[in-house]
Amino acid sequence: MAMNISIVGAGLSGAVLARQFAEAGLKVTVYESRNHIAGNCHTQRDPDTGVLIHVYGPHIFHTNHQHVWEYIQKFDVMMPFVNRVKASVGSRIYSMPINLMTINSFYNKCLNPQEAKEFIYSIGDQAINEPKTFEEQALRFVGKDLYEAFFKGYTEKQWGMSPTHLPASILKRLPIRFNYDDNYYESRYQGMPLNGYTHLVGKILDHSNIVVKLSTSFRRFEAAQYDHVFYSGPIDAWFNFSLGALAYRTLDFQLERHQGDYQGNAVMNYCDPSIPWTRISEHKHFAPWESHENTVIYKEFSRACGREDIPYYPIRLAHDKTQLNDYFRVAQLEKNVTFIGRLGTYRYLDMDIAISEALTLARESLNAIAEKKSIPHFSAPPVFS
């Protein structure tokens, strides 16, 4: 099985693929345009406070996939961590996602779970039978007051548009609980790598069959030098934006250092439209097993993504899906190129899904190589609807 593989991007998708191929005896060259590995989950120590910073914003690992949880623990110790998000609304602080404490605090009530269910149903707009937009879904789901307090302003800041223009599917991912559970995720396994994500990814890439080239861009014509290329960059960039640029939101971070403890919690959402940032993350709280006298916070701002910016969130409105389908069609005509990960398939992916898809793709690719068949064009089947 003598093949020369190129992987573009040293994030989780690329690193896991590289490791699986290297262990199978293939030579792998990983190209990374930035000066570090681990992509947007890159972590590094703040030189002034010693706090481990999530350089591109908070990344909390959570999964229901046991095989993914077991896989990452080969490369670092996963420390227990529960993300307990708070929300600032007006002059008060509430728990997120909306739970029984949120409901009782917001309405100054003492409802039990069944009473809360009946109350929320009574304030929801049941006349909306089939919600098509984010706003319609929210009005039916939690009613006007909770929607305007927790979702409307935050969503406008996050996505740069009215919730009436966003699909209902975005809100369907957010739970509402009728107990006092304030764990932001419902995943079976949750934690943080003891030494940070960059250390973890470095361990994944630490193999004699892997060569990593940092601060090195990979251009489309260079694919001819390799038997196969796995590309985790933006799919539209691969084709030099020939069909137009896909729409993303990007993030800006305002770093501040403070004495002591700034907000007493890792993540605080700011729902009021009058406050320009969407949330504040306090990074020492992502590693509660460490002790730091002082602290580092990120104020997070969302805006439209330009071609020189780091793409974070694909927007995927109707126009974007049409454009994406066109890119998928031309991608399927590429020879010996596979598009992988968040940017290569223009989807929002949690870290565990990126790892799971990379493991599956590696297995399928190795089988295809052994059977002299074509390697899949995508790390997951493209959705054309």
pLDDT at 288 over 70: yes
- Distance separating alpha carbons of residues 57 and 229, to the nearest angstrom: 29
- The tokens for 298 are 């990120």
Residues 6+ apart with CB under 8 A from 170: 134, 155
Interval 97-128: pLDDT, tens? 999 999 999 999 999 999 999 999 999 999 99
pLDDT at 96 over 90: yes
Q: Does residue 188 carry a pLDDT above 50?
A: yes
Domain locations along the chain: 100-172
- Count Cβ atoms within 10 A of the Cβ of residue 227 and give its class: 0-12 exposed, 13-18 middle, 19 or more buried: middle
Q: What is the reported pLDDT for 177?
A: 95
For the stretch 318-339, pLDDT in tens is 778 889 999 999 999 999 999 9
Task: Give 385's pLDDT tier (boundaries 50, 70, 90).
Answer: very low
- 352 has pLDDT over 60: yes
pLDDT of residue 174: 67
Identify which of 229, 243, 186 has the alpha carbon closest to the alpha carbon of residue 335.
229
Is residue 384 over pLDDT 60?
no
Render pLDDT for 302-311 as a digit per residue (tens, 0 to 9): 999 999 999 9
Confidence of residue 383 (pLDDT cuts 50, 70, 90): low
15 by Cβ neighbours in 10 Å (0-12 / 13-18 / 19+) ranks as buried
Report the percentage of the chain scoring pLDDT > 90.
91
In terms of pTM, does the model score above 0.85? yes
Residue 191 confidence (pLDDT): 98
Mean predicted confidence (pLDDT) in 275-298: 98
Query: Tens digit of pLDDT for each residue in 219-265?
Result: 999 999 999 999 999 999 999 999 999 999 999 999 999 999 999 99
What is the residue-averaged pLDDT of the chain?
95
DSSP 79: E
Q: Which residues are catalytic?
A: 173, 177, 249, 279, 300, 348, 350
pLDDT per residue as tens digits for the range 142-179: 999 999 999 999 999 999 999 999 988 887 666 799 99
